[in-house]
Structure 1
Amino acid sequence: MKQKTDKQNKQLSMKTRRKILPFLFVTPHLIIFLIFSLIPIIYGLYISFTKWNFLGTPEWVGLANYKEILFSTESTYYRQFMNGLKNTFLAVVLNVPPSIIVPLVLALALNVKVRGSKFFQSVFYLPCLLSLSAVSIIWIQILNKRFGVPSVFGINSALTVEQPWAWLMIVLMSTWWAIGTNMVIYQAALGGVPKELYESASIDGAGSIKRFFYITVPSIRFQILYTIVMTTIAGFNIYGQPLMLTEGGPNGSTTVLIMEIRKLAFGTGQPIAGMASAMAICLGVVILIISAFQFFAMNRKEN
């Protein structure tokens, strides 16, 4: 009887361990998420309802910060927010299409088993291993008016000091830097597409364009959806590229919202943490809404 009880207790202990073990693996990540993500978000939300300059006690002002940046058209903060938001939307519209299309084209080209494909795959992936600072230095030198690309074509001014060249250079730099990540995702997805589908389509007389739209795209639609959503989120969080390449110019035309938030919170004047937090929360809400819309719209189209 005792042996039977011990055996049951041992089995119960094994079952308990199996149930607890997954939670133990998740716990370190959960702790990091709480400390570095969730708690700062909640605290930032609280600060957005206050007037605070990092010194003293935050003064509760309710929705005053949100009213000023969203509805007070005469306010400087309203103009800063709207200008930054407009430029951020422009950055997303300009950055997302090439960051999706170019990696997909490269992945399709490298999916063909030819000599040297692995080498070119490594070459295209290398830029995303560099830090944004290193990438910015490289592009600043490329665009230098004395010994860079402008001097080759006899252009006497830097391409980052006037529009539309400033935005074009930011898009080129961003695409070149991030091209590798999406390319690898597409390559992995293309590797899972059955070759028999292409062979059957070829026998039925389908050309390369039809095979792409009727076989390739449907087969990797989930990966395309993932990259679109993640690239859009990254586009809304753009900061380093315009800061390093154009410093927000010319005339504030490339000053994105995160740059405005940084100037308010950590600028040379008196810090305005509450207003900066309100702008950051609004940006987060915009990202959440657009990402959710993209996800549900593409899922609905698939269904």
Structure 2
Amino acid sequence: MTMTTTTTTTARAQRGGDRRATRPPSRLPQGLRAWFRVIPFMGPHLVLFAVFGLFPACFGIYVAFTQWNLIGDPQWVGLDNFRVLFDTDHAFHRIFMNGLWNTILFVVVGVPLLIAVPLVLAVMLSRKDLRGANVFQGIFFVPGLIAVSAAAIAWNLVFNREFGPINHYLGTDISFTTTQPWAWTTIFVLTVWAGIGGNLIIYRSAISAVPQELYEVASIDGAGAVRSFFNVTLPSIRLPLLYTTVMTTTVSFNVFAQPLMLTNGGPADSTTVLMMEVRDLAFGGGPSIAGVASAMAVLLGLVLMAISAIQFFIMYRRTDV
């Protein structure tokens, strides 16, 4: 009885193997089949990205080629909105260039600060003889958890001309948020205070992974702390530097809350960034000009893509050396 059952089972297995052997191979490439297996796990995230990211972006690009007041139907006007922005005699050109220039100024000053200050702090906190490094790291990270609007209100009180502690203890009478260059100074102080925590954690983690043997060899060769930093630390954390530089630049080009809450774009629109201009044109108190506002946003996105590509090319090229 047992031998008969075994023989039957073996015969079924052979027939099944023959059927699998004769089954035609899948015409889909192996990489594509792997994607089909992964898609069910990515599905929820893809849906959220499509609804809240991809669709609004595509619709915004479409609106840039239309004339629309957010009420009626968009009217297709082609490249007219872009021509207006590059027409030097048009008011929208002056608005666009002022906002773009102020945005670039914020990026040029703010990004190096958001890269250099956390890097220096990370190097200091990575010293083995420093006690309580994790406590200091937590202190630096906490401001990033506070909403920018709430932080701006607090810093407005600090920089207040009449009862702010800075004017009080320095014995000065400076209107920080309504005069230049102090208006930009307040924006950069808030930005650095709130933004160094994330990059600090990335840099400190990267520095802790650098082999200590490299520092020992550098010390034997007579390198001091500064030379070890430039010859050992920086080359060893190039990829984290690339990542933080690109991400910090992307976030900085979308600056909005700091100048809005601290200076409201003043004095004389000298701190009005491009995202504030887009907001005012599309959702301001007067008639909405959503088409021109979307055209400004599209041009800002193109500038950001070009700068990010240049950063990737320069920094990633150095990592291959």
Q: TM-score, normalization: structure 1?
A: 0.93
| Offset of residue 22 of structure 1 | 2.5
Q: Distance in 2 between matches of 1:159 and 1:49?
A: 40
Q: Distance in 1 between matches of 2:54 and 2:76?
A: 21
Q: Distance in 2 between matches of 1:236 and 1:18?
A: 37
- List per-residue Cα deviations over 1:231-288 (Å, max 9, x = no partner): 1111111000000000000000000000000000000000011010000000000000
Q: Distance in 2 between matches of 1:4 and 1:66?
A: 70
Q: Distance in 1 between matches of 2:36 and 2:146?
A: 39
Q: How does 1:200-239 map to 2 (within 5 A)?
A: 200-239=217-256
**CA contact under 8 A between 1:265 and 1:272: conserved in structure 2?**
yes
**CA contact under 8 A between 1:249 and 1:255: conserved in structure 2?**
yes
Q: Which moved more, 1:155-164 or 1:214-223?
A: 155-164
Q: Which moved more, 1:137-146 or 1:78-87?
A: 137-146
Q: Which residue of 1 aligns with 2:201?
A: 184
3-state SS in 1 of match to 2:249: helix
Q: How does 1:163-174 map to 2 (within 5 A)?
A: 163-174=180-191
**CA contact under 8 A between 1:69 and 1:81: conserved in structure 2?**
yes
Q: Which residue of 1 aligns with 2:283?
A: 266
- List per-residue Cα deviations over 1:148-201 (Å, max 9, x = no partner): 112322333421111111111111110110000000000110111001110111
| Offset of residue 19 of structure 1 | 6.6
Q: Which residue of 2 aligns with 1:289?
A: 306
Greater gyration radius: 2
Q: Which residue of 1 aligns with 2:149?
A: 133
Name which of 174, 177, 186 aligns with 1:160: 177
The one-letter amino acid of 1:289's match is: A
Q: Which residue of 1 aligns with 2:113?
A: 98
| Offset of residue 121 of structure 1 | 0.9
3-state SS in 2 of match to 1:269: coil
**C-alpha spacing 1:2/1:226, structure 2 compared with 1 (3 Å):** same
Q: Distance in 2 between matches of 1:176 and 1:276?
A: 31
Name which of 70, 75, 80 aligns with 1:64: 80
3-state SS in 2 of match to 1:224: helix
| Offset of residue 17 of structure 1 | 10
Q: Distance in 2 between matches of 1:87 and 1:6?
A: 71
Q: Which residue of 2 aligns with 1:143?
A: 159
Structure 2: gaps spanning 5 or more residues: 1-10
3-state SS in 2 of match to 1:163: coil
The one-letter amino acid of 1:99's match is: L
Aligned-residue CA RMSD (Å):
2.0
Q: Which residue of 2 aligns with 1:37?
A: 53
| Offset of residue 20 of structure 1 | 4.7
Q: Which residue of 2 aligns with 1:50?
A: 66
Identity of aligned residues (%): 48
Structure 1: gaps spanning 5 or more residues: none
**C-alpha spacing 1:18/1:221, structure 2 compared with 1 (3 Å):** closer
Name which of 117, 131, 134 aligns with 2:133: 117
**CA contact under 8 A between 1:51 and 1:272: conserved in structure 2?**
yes
3-state SS in 1 of match to 2:95: helix
Q: Which moved more, 1:129-138 or 1:185-194?
A: 129-138
